[in-house]
A and B are shown apart, each in its own frame.
Chain A
């Protein structure tokens, strides 16, 4: 989409999404995200109640399923044979992934771009990571093999996002549509790779008809060492620290480097940035590529850390890239916010699926509930004007009791 010929003089800058968000963040701080989350969970509770279940039981079940009761029931217990501890490690495992996919959305956001292609970038990363991990044999020593695999997966994600970045920079194609299309292309490409007769399908004798790839651990043994848990049962791996490092790098790059300054300047107001001599096109491309890099890192650490293989069903059912949108928006595209958002959605993801006791609440329902809560979070974050308005009304009332609020 090209720039409008006559920009209507409605609102003063900032004109971009990121710019608006930054302004509101300064105005509202940490309060609106918290209210947003509470509101979303409350609405989810209404849905649970409307469908004839007890919302409080359901939420407590999800909390236990996510293993968050570890903090008060079992704190300090490291034995993963205990269900609570195991669930908690699983939540942290998903948090690791969501930190990366959240950063993938957040980085582009700070440049005024809405990268909803994290899913496709992740999927392409999965294909490359599986290819390097399971089909290179023992070409490299294990440690180097893991590093090369993760780096190549990250680069694949960067290239996939870079396509959308180039199209945005050169012909102005809107990144929302291009990244969604790239998602579906990646979806079918990966389905082809891991499916019947595909180039990355199972070669283990007797399993040639399984639409899934070879196992990285069996074929090369190159995996990320285990941090907490039992390697055979989806243990938390050292990639967790890589995620934390990524949060630090994200903060440093954005706030302490020229690149970050330019990216934020473009995100805040592209016209002003261009006037100041910053290349908007270059930063559009770089921001998308770096975003894709984060999504690719999520794929690399997932494959080498705990998944070890990928199948058609895994690829088609995965939604980690979309969770990243909710994570980044709830976290206001800041490093700390993304970290906390990833923990919340990591807990919600595991607590509503595998971790949830089916006796308490049906996991197939709960899985969809978590999707709904994601949607509500994104909806309310986008509309935090409402929350800010109510908040400012409250403050005003404290400041001068006679002043009444204006209509929004």
Chain B
């Protein structure tokens, strides 16, 4: 208790806190124009946006450069988006911002990213860059649904998908650890290879048809008790957001927590991290750098493939060539944005998942009034990822030895 008290007493108001306040004001500038508040006057977004930007400027003057500028940008963007929202009809906004289902959709789109990002964290923390996440996801997506179709069970389907990802991960590990190949080029090769392999196998196994309907799907967990939680509005919200999520989404939450514990609280995690920070030192104390890296990269392939399998077996029940659509790279961005930490990556994945969910809703709501809006809105997650990677907010430090092959002496 005393430690906590001491921490509370030593807490002081810094420029960074000011900047975070500015960020929140900027976000609120947009939120104020959305349901349920639905301010109809452009005055409110303008007010909060300007306030956020001004607070950001003050924070910048006081030395919080990156966060301060982020607050300025978020304030301006928030005010602009808020203004657009006030110009838009309430019916449209209600279609787009139905919060419970928007949050549920966020988890659906975030989960593939979460699995792949956790895989990416293991790989990169051990010192191997894994650009091949995208390809490993694609392998999981195809072989997952093929397995579910062939064996009639989604469990074996996902396991087969994970095995295919592990195989690809093993290939990447062999080339980057043993052969000391360039890891970025190797990962790119893995991606190209996966497009070819899945496309070839898809045509060979299914011809011109798609996966037949009625493939075993990953079940959803119906949590009716959430609906009965006292204030009715809260119960409805919780049930709408969490009441019908797929089993693999819950496993994904668990995975994040378990990965955090494994990575930061166990000897295994310490070994993995030491191989990524200073492999020579790890080798000196008797850790098998090659072994750890092999295991981590293979695991990352398995996890990324599980994310891909969730896409095909859990969401769309079909396979399209190249269906992962750059998600592996967005997951990689989530790893960087989340500072190589499971919870950080989870937050980033949720952000990107939210933008994807929003993109689909925007397309649905404005398809009739703005021609091509449904297509244009698809850019949103990629634009957001680009901005995030560009490091508007914070700057992350990768494991020191990531991307460097290790040579035993």
**Neighbour of B181 across the interface among A116, A368, A376, A383, CB < 8 A:** A383
Surface stretch bound by B, among A1-9, A91-99, A273-281, A288-296: A1-9
**Neighbour of B379 across the interface among A47, A188, A365, A368, CB < 8 A:** A188
Q: How far is the CA of A376 from the CA of B200 in the complex (A)?
A: 14
| Residues of B contacting A386 in the complex (Cβ-Cβ under 8 angstroms) | 179
Q: How far is the CA of A313 from the CA of B48 in the complex (A)?
A: 43
Least CB distance from A228 to B in Å reads: 31
Are A196 and B182 touching (Cβ within 8 A)?
A: no
Q: Which of B196, B204, B278 has the most CB of A within 10 A?
A: B196
Residues facing A in B178-201 (CB within 8 A) are 178-182, 184-186, 188-197, 199-200
Are B279 and A8 touching (Cβ within 8 A)?
A: yes
Are A375 and B280 touching (Cβ within 8 A)?
A: no
A residues contacting the other copy or chain, number (CB 8 A): 66
Main secondary structure of the interface of A (DSSP, over half): helix
Interface size class of B (residues with CB under 8 A): 35 or more
Judge whether A210 is part of the interface by a CB distance below 8 angstroms.
no
Known: A177-B329, A184-B379, A197-B371. A379 touches B189 (CB 8 A): yes
Q: Which of A7, A51, A196, A372 has the most CB of B within 10 A?
A: A372
Are B196 and A184 touching (Cβ within 8 A)?
A: no
Q: Across the interface, name the chain A residue whose C-beta is closest to B179.
A: A383
| Residues of B contacting A82 in the complex (Cβ-Cβ under 8 angstroms) | none
Surface stretch bound by A, among B26-34, B257-265, B386-394: B386-394
Judge whether A198 is part of the interface by a CB distance below 8 angstroms.
yes
Judge whether B214 is part of the interface by a CB distance below 8 angstroms.
no
Q: Across the interface, name the chain A residue whose C-beta is closest to B174.
A: A383
Q: Which of A8, A181, A184 has the most CB of B within 10 A?
A: A181
Are B192 and A367 touching (Cβ within 8 A)?
A: no
Are B195 and A371 touching (Cβ within 8 A)?
A: yes
Residues facing B in A375-397 (CB within 8 A) are 375-379, 381-386
Are B397 and A5 touching (Cβ within 8 A)?
A: yes
Q: Across the interface, name the chain B residue whose C-beta is closest to A369.
A: B200
Judge whether B347 is part of the interface by a CB distance below 8 angstroms.
no
Are A365 and B181 touching (Cβ within 8 A)?
A: no
Q: How far is the CA of A96 from the CA of B78 in the complex (A)?
A: 46
Q: How far is the CA of A51 from the CA of B386 in the complex (A)?
A: 40
Are B407 and A362 touching (Cβ within 8 A)?
A: no
A residues lining the B interface (CB < 8 Å) = 1-2, 4-11, 17, 20-21, 47, 51, 114, 116, 167, 171-174, 176-178, 180-185, 188-189, 191-192, 195-198, 322, 325-326, 329, 362, 364-365, 367-379, 381-386, 408
9 contacts between A and B (CB under 8 A): A8-B280, A167-B390, A177-B329, A188-B378, A189-B379, A365-B204, A368-B195, A382-B181, A385-B180
Assuming A4-B398, A325-B192, what are 9 further A-B pairs, CB within 8 angstroms? A114-B188, A184-B379, A192-B372, A192-B376, A195-B372, A197-B372, A371-B199, A374-B196, A378-B189
B residues lining the A interface (CB < 8 Å) = 131, 171, 175, 178-182, 184-186, 188-197, 199-200, 202-204, 208, 278-280, 325-326, 329-330, 332-333, 336, 371-372, 375-376, 378-379, 382-383, 385-386, 389-391, 395-398, 400-402, 404-407
